[in-house]
Amino acid sequence: MAEISIRMAENEADIQTARKLCEEWLEWHWAAYPADWPVEGNPMDRAHFRETLDDLPDIHARPRGGIFIAFVDGRPAGCVMYNEASADTAEFNRMFVSENGRGHGLGRAMLDVMFGQMVADGYSRVIFSSAIFLTHAKTMYEKAGFVAMPHPRGFPDAWRQYVYFMERPLT
């Protein structure tokens, strides 16, 4: 049986590990991206995404955010990050389990560890958005207690049919 561990990023080496996992996720995203979806204005645009990776420590800074890294047998295999959306609401994003980490329940395990930290940080609710073509992920989120929520005010009309939003209470 594989040894699974999940911990919050604590130093620059951990941030670099999270960035590498995110880069792997970006490549997976574009390989799986449906051909009939728009590309222009895509939030996963490579140049924009790389700028985001540079800013990870600021975007997810403690004490109101965090970056978690999951390991399988000591090797980095997944990540998830969160930050403050409002005083009582956290938003998570950049959740990814690498191909070598799949099949170990890492996605759900990372959510559970992150939820615990969010509660400790004072949040009572969590939200996120994802692409509708990631059906396997949506099933996991539903099993974790997430329910559909409306698109936020100002969300681009051109992307409404491609992206869904979900929420879940933390307490």
Rounded to whole angstroms, the Cα distance separating 38 from 15 reads 31
Among 6, 1, 33, 3, which residue's Cα sits nearest to residue 97? 6
pLDDT digits (tens, 9 = 90+) for 38-68: 777 777 788 888 999 999 999 999 999 999 9
pLDDT digits (tens, 9 = 90+) for 118-169: 999 999 999 999 988 888 889 999 999 999 999 999 998 988 999 999 999 9
Rounded to whole angstroms, the Cα distance separating 94 from 37 reads 20
Task: Give mean pLDDT, residues 85-105.
Answer: 94
pLDDT at 30: 78
| CATH for the stretch 4-169 | 3.40.630.30
Question: Domain spans of the chain?
Answer: 4-169
Rounded to whole angstroms, the Cα distance separating 64 from 47 reads 27
User: What's this model's pTM, rounded to 2 decimal places?
Assistant: 0.93
